[in-house]
Structure formats: structure tokens, C-alpha cells
Chains A and B, each alone.
Chain A
Amino acid sequence: MKKFFSTIGGNIRDVHIGALLAISYLLFNVVFWAYPFIWLAILSFTDWRFFDTPVFSGLKNIYIILDDVEFWRSLWNVARFLGYYIPMAMFSISLMVTWKFVGYYGLILYSGLVDIPKEIYDAARLDNATPLTRLLRVTLPMINGQLIMVLIFAITVAFGIFTEPYMMTGGGPLESTNMPLLVMYETAFSRLQPGRAALMAIIIALVSYAVIKIMRRAFERNVELV
């Protein structure tokens, strides 16, 4: 790369253009990423109702959230969503969100399936493998990458559900369909507690990160063609 630009003789100019483009992205992120990020940290330790002056409240937000049954219930609801727990209200939301995304999942898996070399199936046939063995020993391991991707995608979607319960059930009946983002939204904008809501956002992010990490450890395989 370096060699190419020096042969053209545009080296210095190009490096400047590159840096300038990078700086434009960084400036954008100072305003719309870093600044909110700092606010996120400040809000977490602040007692504030949007209109009064923010007051440092130490760990008070954490204590309140630890006691907030509704919030933990909503995180548990994510697990119930992913596990298709039967109570009808949650079931209908699971069904709806799954239906919405099943096309994407299908495309991801499909792109993995078409990349499996035919020779492997021929080899399996020579070994007299039954269709079931073929599925378990060839197809599923070969699309492990895509399966993991769908899994991560589904988890991310589950933690990010907002529209469906907001529109369909409003979290009810008896909070059985309350989702973390809905609790966060209501904490911030109905109960006017942005500090607590910010801390909830951090907790939701940490929990979803942990779940993804655990799932990857449990199911991810390094499949290599020899």
C-alpha cells in the first residue's frame, strides 16, 4: 500500500485525506457517542427528574434497582421469551417477533447451506450414512457458524423488544410481558427517573453480553475442512 502511493507521488496528500476522513468520523462520535456515554455514567449515580438540578446520589440508584421487582421480572421475561414459556400473552409476543424475523434467520442459514461442498455428502453416502446421521454429523456442524449467528441475533432481538409489548399488551397482564426496554422507557419518561433508567440500560447490556458469551461457549465449534 505504502509502496503504491509513493510511486504515484501522492503519498502526503493521501495520508492527509485519510486522516481527515477519520477525524470527521471521530468528531461526529465525540458529539453523538462519547458525550452521551459520559452522561450515561453520570446519570447512573445521579438523582434527577429532567427539570431540577441533578444531585449526586452515590449508589442509591443501584439499591433501588436491586429492589425493583418489576425490572428483574422483565429480564426474566426475556428468558421466558427465548424459551417460549407457555402463558398465552407472552406466547403471542414470542410468536409475533419470531414470525417477523424468521425470514432473516432462514436467509442466514440458507447462505451457510449452499456453501457446503457436495463432496462431503458424496463421501457420507459412500460410508452409508443415514439421512439422520448426515444431518447431525455433516449439515449441522457445517453450518455451526450460521447457527451461532442466528442464536446471537435472536438473543439481541429478545433483549431489544419494545414495540410489540408497547403496542399489544403494555406489559400486562400482571407484568407477564413486560420487557426490559419497556421498563427502562417508563422509568425514564413516565416516572421521570432518567438516572435509574440509565443504570438499567447498563445492566441490560451487561446481562445480554453475558448470555451471548455463555451461549457461544456452550455451542460454538471450530469446524474445519481437512
Chain B
Amino acid sequence: MNWLRKKTPGSWIITILMYGLALTWLYPYIWMVMASLKPTTEIYNTGLFSGHFTLENYRFLFDSAEKLNRPFLKSLFNSFFITLSVTGSVVVTSAFIAFAMAKIDFWGRERLHNFILFQMVLPGMMLTIPMFVLIRQLGLVNTYAAMILPAMMSGWGIFMMSQAFKGTPNDYIDAARLDRASLWQIVFNLMVPLNKSIVAIVALFTFTGTWDNFMWPLIVISDVDKMPLSVLLATFSKQYGMYVGPVMAGSVLQALPLVLLFIVFRRYFLQGMSLSLK
């Protein structure tokens, strides 16, 4: 791509065009943030950066718990609780099982590998309905467990980590063993730090997927006190769609953690992305 780096008029035009495209893509986000800061009556009839900016919409969201029976603050907590539990569990279990898959020659390892590949090929939505039947039989409808338990281990996470772990030289593990390192120490003080990018990718994708998950909590949760933000926001905007300002404020809250995570872990994210595609 050398010809792009030379400062010819053509490359300038392409650069400006690219920034233009990026801005076009960003525009809905900018609009969302601006709209969340204006009174609803001004959203559609003032310019993007004009109008009276207030935090009224956010206050409305957090006050609406009593008035409209939409506990947004609680749902924000629910989302964090569910997402962090799932992500934590997936990272820990994936790291251990991936270590076993990559570095321990136990009986049936090949078969387990094939089983995980088979699981990854099958679309998850196939099991949605029978999973609901199972959750109902376990008496877990309307509980946090319904959203956390089925997602606590991930075949994809194990697969990704074990592919990366295979590349870590055995000598390191050898040395750690000689120093009498425990399994926990080998996995968390050796394998995980040496494969940071792939662990970050598994954590980020799990976090994003759980945070944004909509269909499954919609099915298993009907109690507003246990709804994650994604579902509560949907029920709110379905019923009170005319409150555009508060809906936008809610959407900003829904997007914010993912944006922050990406900014903080951007470096790992890009590394892991190209790793996972090889």
C-alpha cells in the first residue's frame, strides 16, 4: 500500500474520502449522544449541535423507576452483574480447559476437540426453545441463574485459547514445574500473561455478546426488577416511544461500557483480531 503513503493529490483525496466515510458511520452515534442531551421537543427541530443541553433525560430515566415501573438503575446493575459473572466464568474455565487441551495428553483429547468444533458449527439459536424448557424444569425462570448458568462455559473460548496456548513453548511450563508451580499458577501466572491478546479477545467478545444479548433474557425474564438494560430499554421504547430523549439516554448507557472497553483494550483487540483469523 505504498502508493497511499506518498503525498500525491490522489492519496489526499482518498484520505479525505475515508475520513468522510468514517464520519458517516459515526453520525448515528453522534446524533444519539446529542439527542440524549436535549429535551425531546427539540430533538427533531434543532441542529445537531444546537438547542438547550441538559441532563434532564438521564434524570428522567433514573426517576422513572417509581412513576413508570422501569427501574433503569437496577437494570444497569443487573446487566453488569450478569455480564461480569459470565465473562469471568468463561475466561477462567476456558483458560483451564484450554491448557488441558493444548498441553496435557489425556485420553480422549482428540474426541473432545472434535466435539467442540461440532458445537461451534451448530447455531446456538437451535437450542433456544429446548433450553427454555430446561430452565423451566429447573425452576429458574425469572432468576439471574437463567441468564448466567447456561453461558458459564464456552466451547468457542476453549477453542480460541487452546489454539493460542499450543504456541507457548513447553520449556516454560517445564521450568515452572521444576519450581513446583501449581496448576493454578501455571495457567494464571504463565499461560494467560503470555497469551494476553487472545484472552482479551475471548473476554471482550463474551462481554459484548452477553451485554447485548436480547432474545434470551427476553424469553426467561418477565420481572422488571431482574431485566438487563437491553430488555428493559426495549420494553420502555416499545411502550413510551414518544419519549425519544430518555430512550436515547438509555441507548447511550447501553453503548457506553462497550465503547470504553474498546478504547481501553484497543491494542489487544486489534492484535487478537488478526491472531484469531489466522
Interface residues of A in 1-24 (CB under 8 A from B): 1-2, 4-5, 8, 10, 14-19, 21-22, 24
Q: A99-B25, A181-B215, A189-B219 are in contact. Are A39 and B133 (CB under 8 A)?
A: yes
What distance in Å separates the Cβ of A219 from its nearest Cβ neighbour in chain B?
17
The secondary-structure label for the interface of chain B is helix
Alpha-carbon separation in the docked complex, A21 to B119 (Å): 18
B260 at the interface (CB under 8 A from A): no
Nearest opposing residue in chain B for A3, CB measure: B170
What distance in Å separates the Cβ of A52 from its nearest Cβ neighbour in chain B?
14
B127 at the interface (CB under 8 A from A): yes
Q: Mark A199-214, 1 if CB is under 8 A from B, else 0.
A: 0011011001100000
Name, among B129, B130, B132, B134, the residue most crowded by chain A CB atoms within 10 Å (CB to CB).
Answer: B129
Contacts of A36 in B (CB 8 A): 127, 130-131, 133-134
Q: A18-B106, A167-B238 are in contact. Are A39 and B130 (CB under 8 A)?
A: yes
Could you tell me which B residues sit within 8 Å of A by CB distance? Answer: 1-2, 25, 28, 93, 96-97, 99-101, 103-109, 112, 119, 121-123, 125-134, 136, 149-150, 152-153, 158, 170, 173-174, 177-178, 183, 214-215, 219, 234, 237-238, 270, 273-274, 277
What distance in Å separates the Cβ of A17 from its nearest Cβ neighbour in chain B?
6
A215 at the interface (CB under 8 A from B): no
Name, among A16, A121, A201, the residue most crowded by chain B CB atoms within 10 Å (CB to CB).
Answer: A201
Contacts of B132 in A (CB 8 A): 188, 194
12 CB contacts below 8 A, A to B, read A2-B105, A18-B109, A22-B97, A22-B108, A39-B130, A40-B126, A40-B129, A99-B25, A114-B274, A166-B234, A185-B215, A205-B123
The secondary-structure label for the interface of chain A is helix
A205 x B122 contact (CB < 8 A): yes
What distance in Å separates the Cβ of A161 from its nearest Cβ neighbour in chain B?
10
Interface size class of A (residues with CB under 8 A): 35 or more
B129 x A15 contact (CB < 8 A): no
What distance in Å separates the Cβ of A152 from its nearest Cβ neighbour in chain B?
11
A40 x B100 contact (CB < 8 A): no
Contacts of A75 in B (CB 8 A): none
Contacts of A4 in B (CB 8 A): 170, 173-174
Q: Mark A116-156, 1 if CB is under 8 A from B, else 0.
A: 00100100000000000000000000000110010000001
Q: A28-B152, A103-B25 are in contact. Are A167 and B237 (CB under 8 A)?
A: yes
A108 x B105 contact (CB < 8 A): no
Alpha-carbon separation in the docked complex, A222 to B132 (Å): 42
Alpha-carbon separation in the docked complex, A15 to B112 (Å): 15
Alpha-carbon separation in the docked complex, A18 to B105 (Å): 7
Q: Which 4 residue pairs spanning A and B have beta carbons closest together?
A: A18-B104, A18-B106, A39-B130, A36-B130
A63 at the interface (CB under 8 A from B): no
Contacts of A2 in B (CB 8 A): 105
A79 at the interface (CB under 8 A from B): no
Among A26, A32, A50, A201, the residue within 8 A (CB) of B134 is: A32
Q: A35-B130, A163-B234 are in contact. List 16 more A-B contacts (CB 8 A).
A: A1-B103, A21-B96, A26-B112, A29-B153, A35-B134, A36-B127, A108-B273, A111-B277, A112-B277, A118-B2, A146-B277, A160-B123, A163-B214, A166-B234, A198-B130, A205-B126
Alpha-carbon separation in the docked complex, A167 to B126 (Å): 22
What distance in Å separates the Cβ of A207 from its nearest Cβ neighbour in chain B?
11
A21 x B126 contact (CB < 8 A): no
Contacts of B96 in A (CB 8 A): 21
